[in-house]
Chain A
Amino acid sequence: MTSDAHTGTGRPADALRGDDETSTAPKKKGGGAVGGVANWMDERTGGAKGIRYLMNKVFPDHWSFMLGEVAMYSLIILLITGTFLTFWYVPSMGETIYHGSYTPLQGQQMSEAYKSTVDISMDVRGGLLIRQIHHWAALLFLVAIMLHMFRVFFTGAFRKPREINWVIGVLLFMLAMVEGFAGYSLPDDLLSGTGIRAAQGFMLSIPVIGSYVAYFVFGGAFPGSEIIPRLFTVHVLLLPAIIMGLFAAHMILLIVHKHTQFPGPGRSDHNVVGFKLMPVYTAKAGGFFFIVFGITALISGLVTINPIWMYGPYEPTMVTAGAQPDWYMGFADGALRLSPGWWEFTLLGHTFSLNVMIGAILLIPVIFTALGVYPFLEAWITGDKREHHLLDRPRNAPTRTAIGMGFIAFYFVLFVASGNDIMAITLHLSINDITHVMQASIFILPPLVFWITKRLCMSLQRSDRDLVLHGKESGRLIRTAEGRFFEAHTPLSEHDRWRLVSYETHRPIAAPTEADSNGVGRRQIAKDKMRARLSHFYFNDRIEAITPAELAAAHHDGQAFESIESAEDGDRLEIDSDEFDHHMHGGAEELSSGHAYSHPQDQEPS
């Protein structure tokens, strides 16, 4: 492609969108019976406009954009199966004797909640399958939320204008965790009873108000008869309502903001390249719902989850080895397991159980606050007030990616620590050694992972840079007339190159001066200094995006080349290849595959 491509249709990459449907001609009315019904509805509800707007929404294609969809579909599965379970579940701690069909519990005293759960598992037709779908879908729901969150974080999709949607997402994640824990507690089997007992202990560990909180929640001493009915209301009414409300807000904001997209030819902050909801995404997303449901049902049919009939009914005197929460609460359990005992102390005749309180109570709000605040923090540091609809490739934001990975390392250590007893028996290790290694890792691993990730990102950026400037090694050795040898490099196609060069480089802001030019001391100097320090931390080490001039300089072999829109100033440089026919890159040659070699007179080192 030559430079005259710019003049006619705009950017050269627009040619790649030549096949796009651009027809805006009004369509004839029709549609037969369906159209008639639709028209009838529209005349009474006025819904057609909105539905057309929705149906014409364009979504970009990438597998990672479907992680949120997995969460959404899991939520729908949870609502459907959960409704089924409420038909038989009895949220009561009233004592009863089991006389159902499961022999190993025959004649046992148990709560009605537990009995009804065993009945669902053993006597209700399809009950066990639905119970297992509900539980597996809950685990997968939270896995999908977390992975979706990773995608949004590492691609910078939380930037303006999506900060509020990020905060809503963080809230949804936290509520889903609490919702999951409430559901885990309902069967009143040995495992969930242990979980509720632990939760009561956590409440008691809160200084001063702990015992009041516990008595308030349990309606008296543990276990009382209130906690299961209360958790039931929270699980089936309160939290689902809040979650659905926030979920609706999440979706509305998604539609208002439009979906983000990865950088690529023809993609900008002002468009969305992809397919319309109708018919492509309706089919894809609809199909994907059934895939998610199908896979969840398959897993639930093949793999046991929470065999409550084996755990047996809960009594406060009992406990089982290997009592863990479901995975999403594991990090708090792990923090509890890693907390040293000397954090508990006595002051003025009162015991402060900070060894329990910090890991089990304090950590959760701290982590979620940090998550919620992050977009605002980053925006403050970069000072970037523009809207972003193009995603960052994770490598192009090395510090953010490294912070994210460091945080994941921190979370991962806590998460793994909650399985220290299972690791001890399956790997034949000492639980004490495992715990000590984890205690050290919680301090060592996050900075290490941060550093490694940042270096990896920058190496990848360098490698991208190298690829853009020098092309791919073709493996074809060329001997010039003078007898010199070099390897011909094949330049990237502009399609491939676009992805690699279209990003912005942030630079650290200068440290503020103590006083302005009139010698007047500045307010907020400490805040500005902090911002400058953070900016330095974020952007001091960086690999600059390739400028059009650099690209032009690299392509000195007489080939026609593209100018690239500079992210810095938007200038379009038209560069005459003849100006750059010297060697800048240590003798490495970039030749298109069509050329055996060119400019043999230039083979002298520069």
Chain B
Amino acid sequence: MSSLAAQRRHPASIVLVLLLGLVITGGLYALLAPSSAGAAVGSSSDLKSGKSLFLANCATCHGVNADGRENNPSLVGVGAAAVDFQVSSGRMPLSNPSVQAARNSSNVQFTSTQIKQLAEYVASLGAGPAIPSSKYTSLGGNIAKGGELFRVNCAMCHNFAGSGGALTRGKYAPNLMDVSGKQMYEAMLTGPQSMPVFNDTNLSPQDKKDVIAYLKNVKNEPSQGGHTLGNLGPVTEGMFAWTIGIGLLIGAAVWLGRKAA
């Protein structure tokens, strides 16, 4: 100890301390930084199949080198998560170019293996968010916390129960009831179309897991009050009151009015 203390004025000590600081910082960063930025490198055969799938199905719009054409985005750096989200939800390949690619689960063109190959190929073009680990996309998050996070971050577009809401000029925030946990996570991570990005510094992986748990609970919990009318708020309630509600009452009034004394 005393010898170390004696050496502290040594000219090399400053360099050593700096080095030590850098190593610790770098080590901590490597441990704690969001891991999704790394481009997953798959096996060469997967990459090859992915490339041929890409050339056959995606290159028309996104370009042979996936660097985009005219109004179509480049896919370099979008990451595997974006590809998996867009293709597994049936949005891509785009069947109907309009203001927004619509979720279309009956239009999923590829098997999960093919989607994985495609995602690996696109991920190999540039670093981007990777497909999330199933640890964060399965159930088991904190529903109450997820609900609060959802109301703060998501409800203004997707509505309080994830029923969806309108955006400008025909765009919309879709209904979330049939979305898989993995796709929810990927959507938060990549911010498709009008959606903002909720990366791991906005919402930690655990937060995302909580949000997923909340939405799955909304879908699965029994409807305590009876039929939900789509969970769309007072508009559908007003419509119900004006049609079926008052209709039944007027029907009863007409019946009573006709009834002989």
> Does A23 count as interface, using CB distance less than 8 angstroms?
no
Alpha-carbon separation in the docked complex, A70 to B248 (Å)? 11
In-complex Cβ contact of A307 among B167, B231, B242 (8 A): B231
Chain B residues within 8 Å of A321, by CB: 155-160, 164-166, 173
> Does B26 count as interface, using CB distance less than 8 angstroms?
no
Chain B residues within 8 Å of A106, by CB: 143-144
Alpha-carbon separation in the docked complex, A432 to B237 (Å)? 24
Alpha-carbon separation in the docked complex, A292 to B156 (Å)? 37
In-complex Cβ contact of B166 among A275, A312, A315, A431 (8 A): A431
Chain A residues within 8 Å of B1, by CB: none
Alpha-carbon separation in the docked complex, A330 to B240 (Å)? 14
Known pairs A128-B225, A309-B224; A424 contacts B231 (CB<8 A): no
Known pairs A191-B160, A318-B151, A425-B165; A306 contacts B232 (CB<8 A): no
Contact count band on B:
35 or more
Chain A residues within 8 Å of B232, by CB: 322, 422, 426
Inter-subunit contact A104/B221 (CB<8 Å): yes
> Does B10 count as interface, using CB distance less than 8 angstroms?
no
> Does A280 count as interface, using CB distance less than 8 angstroms?
yes
Alpha-carbon separation in the docked complex, A66 to B173 (Å)? 44
Q: Quote the shortest CB–CB distance from A95 to chain B (angstroms).
A: 14
- A397-439: contact bitstring with B at CB < 8 Å (1 yes, 0 no)? 0000000000000000000001111101110111111000000
Chain A residues within 8 Å of B217, by CB: 104
Contact count band on A:
35 or more
Chain A residues within 8 Å of B252, by CB: 288, 291-292, 295
- B121-158: contact bitstring with A at CB < 8 Å (1 yes, 0 no)? 00000000000000000000001100110011001111
Alpha-carbon separation in the docked complex, A91 to B242 (Å)? 30
Q: Which partner residue on chain B sits nearest A61 by CB separation?
A: B257
Inter-subunit contact B241/A419 (CB<8 Å): no
283-334 of chain A: CB within 8 A of chain B: 284, 287-288, 291-292, 295, 299-307, 309-312, 315, 317-327, 330
Q: Quote the shortest CB–CB distance from A110 to chain B (angstroms).
A: 10
Alpha-carbon separation in the docked complex, A424 to B144 (Å)? 30
In-complex Cβ contact of B248 among A121, A284, A295, A319 (8 A): A295
> Does A147 count as interface, using CB distance less than 8 angstroms?
yes
| Segment with Cβ contacts to B, from A132-140, A340-348, A479-487, A574-582 | A132-140
Among B159, B165, B233, the one with the most A-chain Cβ atoms within 10 Å of its Cβ is B233
**How many residue-residue contacts, CB under 8 A, span A and B?**
207
Inter-subunit contact B229/A136 (CB<8 Å): no
Inter-subunit contact A190/B256 (CB<8 Å): no
Alpha-carbon separation in the docked complex, A577 to B97 (Å)? 78
> Does B198 count as interface, using CB distance less than 8 angstroms?
no
Alpha-carbon separation in the docked complex, A287 to B223 (Å)? 32
Chain A residues within 8 Å of B172, by CB: 424-425
Secondary structure call for the A interface: helix
> Does B11 count as interface, using CB distance less than 8 angstroms?
no
210-261 of chain B: CB within 8 A of chain A: 214, 217-218, 221, 223-229, 231-238, 240-242, 244-246, 248-250, 252-254, 256-259, 261
> Does A379 count as interface, using CB distance less than 8 angstroms?
no
> Does A207 count as interface, using CB distance less than 8 angstroms?
no
Q: Quote the shortest CB–CB distance from B239 to chain A (angstroms).
A: 8
> Does A606 count as interface, using CB distance less than 8 angstroms?
no
Inter-subunit contact A312/B261 (CB<8 Å): no
Known pairs A303-B227, A322-B163; A63 contacts B235 (CB<8 A): no
Alpha-carbon separation in the docked complex, A365 to B261 (Å)? 43
Known pairs A67-B253, A143-B246, A321-B173; A122 contacts B224 (CB<8 A): yes
41-98 of chain B: CB within 8 A of chain A: none
> Does A231 count as interface, using CB distance less than 8 angstroms?
no
Chain B residues within 8 Å of A103, by CB: 143-144
Alpha-carbon separation in the docked complex, A327 to B236 (Å)? 9
Alpha-carbon separation in the docked complex, A469 to B120 (Å)? 86
Chain B residues within 8 Å of A144, by CB: 246, 249
Chain A residues within 8 Å of B226, by CB: 132, 300-304
Alpha-carbon separation in the docked complex, A303 to B231 (Å)? 11
In-complex Cβ contact of B228 among A132, A190, A307, A309 (8 A): A307
Inter-subunit contact A323/B233 (CB<8 Å): yes
Chain B residues within 8 Å of A425, by CB: 164-166, 172
Chain A residues within 8 Å of B158, by CB: 321
Inter-subunit contact A147/B246 (CB<8 Å): yes
Inter-subunit contact B156/A319 (CB<8 Å): yes
Q: Quote the shortest CB–CB distance from A73 to chain B (angstroms).
A: 9
Among B144, B152, B169, B254, the one with the most A-chain Cβ atoms within 10 Å of its Cβ is B144
> Does A467 count as interface, using CB distance less than 8 angstroms?
no
Alpha-carbon separation in the docked complex, A426 to B241 (Å)? 19
Alpha-carbon separation in the docked complex, A309 to B261 (Å)? 47
Inter-subunit contact A63/B168 (CB<8 Å): no
Inter-subunit contact B227/A302 (CB<8 Å): yes
Alpha-carbon separation in the docked complex, A326 to B238 (Å)? 7
Chain A residues within 8 Å of B221, by CB: 104
> Does A62 count as interface, using CB distance less than 8 angstroms?
yes
Chain A residues within 8 Å of B245, by CB: 136, 139-140, 143, 295, 299
Q: Quote the shortest CB–CB distance from B87 to chain A (angstroms).
A: 23
Inter-subunit contact B160/A310 (CB<8 Å): yes
Chain A residues close to B by CB (< 8 Å): 61-67, 69-70, 103-108, 121-122, 128, 132, 136, 139-140, 143-144, 147, 190-191, 275, 280, 284, 287-288, 291-292, 295, 299-307, 309-312, 315, 317-327, 330, 418-422, 424-426, 428-433
Extra pairs beyond A422-B233, A424-B172 (8, CB < 8 Å):
A65-B257, A121-B224, A136-B241, A291-B249, A318-B152, A321-B157, A324-B234, A422-B166
